[in-house]
Amino acid sequence: MILEFQYLICFSIFVVLQSLAINGIFEASREGMVIYPFRIFLSRYISEYWMNPIFNCIRCMSSFWGAVTFFITVIPLFGFCWIELWGGALDVFILCSLNYFFYKRL
């Protein structure tokens, strides 16, 4: 019981940190910012439709960046287990609404 509660607290903190990082990537990819030249470079080779999950849409970015940051962090720490796929899906769904909330508030 205590282990699940600790995992839930750590997961909540991790999701908030992920959301703040994704909002930072979104802001850094705007015109005149740090990642903007990289975004322009990628837009030459990738269509605008496929750029949405990487840099353009704050809600769409939760799917790409959420999955990348979740599995890069979770697999080395806990190893691969099929239950982590449910955690990754839950992470993306939470990030979708949390990213938009932080984007409108910050």
The answer to whether the CB of 62 falls within 8 A of the CB of 22 is: yes
The answer to whether the CB of 69 falls within 8 A of the CB of 95 is: no
**What integer is the mean pLDDT of 55-67?**
89
The answer to whether the CB of 65 falls within 8 A of the CB of 98 is: no
Angle, in degrees to the nearest 10, between helices 83-105 and 61-78: 130
Per-residue pLDDT for 13 more than 90? yes
The answer to whether the CB of 56 falls within 8 A of the CB of 99 is: no
Per-residue pLDDT for 15 more than 90? yes
Domain boundaries of the chain, sorted by first residue: 15-105
Q: Where residue 14 falls among pLDDT bands split at 50, 70, 90?
A: very high
Query: Structure pTM?
Result: 0.84
d(CA 54, CA 65): 7
CA angle 24, 80, 76 (to 5 degrees): 55
Structure tokens that stand for 50 in this block: 């496929």
Whole-number average pLDDT of the chain: 88
Per-residue pLDDT for 103 more than 90? no
d(CA 84, CA 91): 10
